Amino acid sequence: MIAIGAVTAGGAPLSGPISFGDVALSLVLVAVAVVVSRWQRVGLEKDMAVATFRSFAQLVAVGYILDYIFKGHGALTIVAVAVMVGTASLTSAGRARRVPGSKLVAAAAISVATAGTLGVLAALRIVPVSARAIIPLGSMIITAAMNTTSLVMTRLHDDLAASRREVEARLSLAQSSRQAALPWLRASLRSGMIPTIDQTKVVGLVALPGAMTGMILAGASPILAIRLQLVVMYMLLGGNAFAALIAGQLTVRRLFTPSHQLIKSLRRTPG
């Protein structure tokens, strides 16, 4: 079992605990970005200010909440994960709002990906069943599943709309809705899963991912950090597969009527 958060004697941390004063000093870099935006008349100064304030407020609030959960209130772990799943589902559904019932599709895909992936890790005793492990790992799975679900839903909707004449021709040959949509379903699954696959291919060569970097900065042995990062990458691959499969299958059902016809909004779409 990987001991999440363990720090070994593999080396000293990069620095001591970061204070809020250090955080304030790092705003110098935000100021540089604001100056560049104003100098080049990009017009993103307001967005940067809002993003900076929101990130500070949100992360500080979450930090205190997690600190409370970790200190003897592990029963709230399920609530924390449920809130993350709900927020991710609403975000994903908003991106794919043209898919009927997108909220239900997104919620199902992200929930299955999260429960399935965390369930496998826990059942195999790869990670401990504790708030300190489940919440951060769950957040990674949920974020990746959210992006995959959005990609699959939007890609499938847009491709079926653009190719509606070919789809209807396949339907006229007595194919079921799933058979008629199969080429575009496969393409949407590929578009949803390829980013994670490509990231896994180049991990360590192009970039050192967040989990590994965080452990190394905290003073952990690079070998321990690598083992954790491998689990995380394989976890994300599995979670994205769950999300893509569920999102694709449910989206097909939503884009066809019970009588195996494209829904009206797709038949009205030029293409």
CA–centroid distance for 31 within its chain:
29
What count of residues does the chain have? 271
Q: In the listed set 26, 44, 71, which residue is the last one of a domain according to the structure?
A: 71
| 37-56: average pLDDT | 94
pLDDT confidence tier of residue 199, bands split at 50, 70 and 90: confident
How far apart, in whole angstroms, are the C-alpha atoms of residue 41 and residue 160? 40
pLDDT in tens, 111-120: 999 999 999 9
Is the domain of 24 the same as that of 96? no
Residue 221 CB neighbour total at 10 angstroms: 16
Distant-in-sequence, close-in-space partners of 140: CB < 8 Å, separation ≥ 6:
211, 232, 235, 236
Report pLDDT for 16: 60
CB of 226 within 8 A of CB of 8?
Answer: no
Structure tokens at 174: 């007595």
- 7 contact partners, CB below 8 Å, separation of at least 6: 215, 218, 219, 220
| Domain range enclosing 51 | 18-71
Mean model confidence pLDDT for the chain = 89
User: Is residue 116 assigned to a domain?
Assistant: yes
Buried b (16+ CB within 10 A) or exposed e, 1-19: ebebeeeeeeeeeeeeeee
Cβ atoms within 10 Å of 127's Cβ, excluding its own: 21
Summarised one tens digit per residue, pLDDT across range 72-112 is 898 999 999 999 999 999 999 999 999 999 999 999 999 99
Structure tokens at 224: 């321990």
Q: For residue 190, what are the contacts with CB-CB under 8 A and spacing of at least 6?
A: none
pLDDT, tens only, 122-134: 999 998 999 999 9
Does residue 248 share a domain with residue 114?
A: yes
Q: State the pLDDT confidence band at 4, using cuts at 50, 70 and 90.
A: low
Q: Backbone dihedral region of 260: left (phi > 0), alpha (psi from -120 to 50 degrees) or beta? A: left
Per-residue tokens: 138: 């769950």
pLDDT at 2 over 90: no
pLDDT reported for residue 9? 43
In a domain, 113, yes or no: yes
pLDDT surpasses 80 at 173 = yes
Q: pLDDT at residue 267 above 80?
A: no
Number of domains, the chain? 2
Task: Provide the pLDDT confidence category of residue 228 given band limits of 50, 70 and 90.
Answer: confident
CB 65 within 8 A of CB 214: no
Would the pLDDT of 207 be above 80? Answer: no
**Which has more pLDDT, 1 or 196?**
196
Shared domain for 156 and 30, answered yes or no, is: no
Residue 215: pLDDT band by 50, 70, 90 thresholds?
confident
pLDDT(165) > 80 = yes
Do residues 148 and 31 both lie within one domain?
no
pLDDT in tens, 6-42: 444 445 555 567 888 989 999 999 999 999 999 999 9
Predicted local distance difference test score (pLDDT) of residue 13? 52
Q: Are residues 91 and 213 in the same domain?
A: yes
Question: Does residue 158 have a pLDDT over 90?
Answer: yes
Residue type, 122: A
Contacts of 259 (CB under 8 A, 6+ apart): none
Domain co-membership, 46 together with 133: no
Say what the pLDDT of residue 271 is: 47
**Domain match, 198 and 175 both:** yes
Residue 182 placed within a domain: yes
Percent of the chain exceeding pLDDT 90 equals 70
The amino acid sitting at 151 is: L
